[in-house]
Structure 1
């Protein structure tokens, strides 16, 4: 059985997008044909990409500096926990921004909320330096550090069970699927019981997934860009399993359909994201 989500483009023209009972976007025949290519990047190149992952992200920020991503002013609108998860009004909120990039999420939050402390970490040392160079950066309100989420780096900078909420926004998709669960287990350890992970990332059959050309596939729903950075496209089922296996419980986990206008190419394209909230159980029964 199908349902229809309606996009409204910049000109006010409605265009229906079909989804199945699970909210998964139904592809056109042309789109399905594009995904049929089974050729996968060689094992040697895949190992090289994994080994050079940090270097490739560092080069990304060297090329683009702070100009690639827009500031994310939507986080408090989409994730009310950034305002509501305090136990009392004067409590300082302790937030972890995992994969902070150059600070497009944390600096709007720091401007909006004076009673917040942010741990900001990123895989790229260059991105962390950009965060520290921002005029809004203050050691009293923010600690930025380089971190590999798939290793135990978080423990060196953040005490166990000390974080109220963590954001994971377009970050997990850049990690090799074999290492995703360990990254989530590391987040679990630093969150307080009852603490939440606020998640947004690429969903299955997002337009970006369909744009990859032959020769860029690394595995199921996993691709490499021309610059060597990688991206995974999540189904709800897989994301739920990853978080549950790491000890979390689900709060919200839904596909979000949006439309992006690409003026350069004259296209209005459907975007598919997963927007989710997972909680470390309030009790201590689920230790990892």
Structure 2
């Protein structure tokens, strides 16, 4: 469909309506207020209808007409789709660089120890790893794919379940050198508990209080001890013998396999209600590098 109106006029109108000011719109668009006003008047002339209410005494801000208010959501949606299209063109021109977002702990404890296998299988794909504790904007930060931990729903993203996990207490082997130490859950009352606060804002995130309740230890003080907001640092504190950590199995597998940590009370099963998901934008799902990395992640998780 051919647009009879120049995009600059639509941009001037949308910015003026959002800021309720020609001057503020001009600052955003890097032009003069007079140029913004001229573009808006040209648009009104083509439409044959005003877009702003004028000639009201004492009014300091622009006020849109009812017709303009009805049209603005579609115009803004159109600009958003144009931005997505341009982003896709940038992605294609960027070549074989794949931008991946994961948490720092997931990168250190799960992804990086096996990443050489992806590089061996896809030597021509360069990966830029973005590690952040906060959810990132995939469009604004040009993220291709990522791994997130949660319930599986993130607006604007497709989520493929990667793996579940279990939560259990772990400690350094040196804490078990004393014959009677940490032989039953009640013994935790005499230990320093290490708490993982990395997902503390998520109500479903497993806590010491929930694990102790599952173990029937309601008389053990669940909130005392050491608080750390990074899952990898939680495990490191346990490795150094600073206490007993409530570990996430996906994070702890390597340290358990290497004998740096020991799982305590393995007969008490406590699956996490949260899981790991591979996430990406649906419109980018056919990108070869993304497909390769997603399939590799799923293969590694099942192995």
What range describes the TM-score normalised by the shorter chain of this pair? under 0.3
Q: Does 1 or 2 have the higher relative contact order (CA < 8 Å, sep 6+)?
A: 2
Higher helix proportion (structure 1 or 2):
2
Q: Could you tell me the TM-score, scaled by structure 1's length? A: 0.27
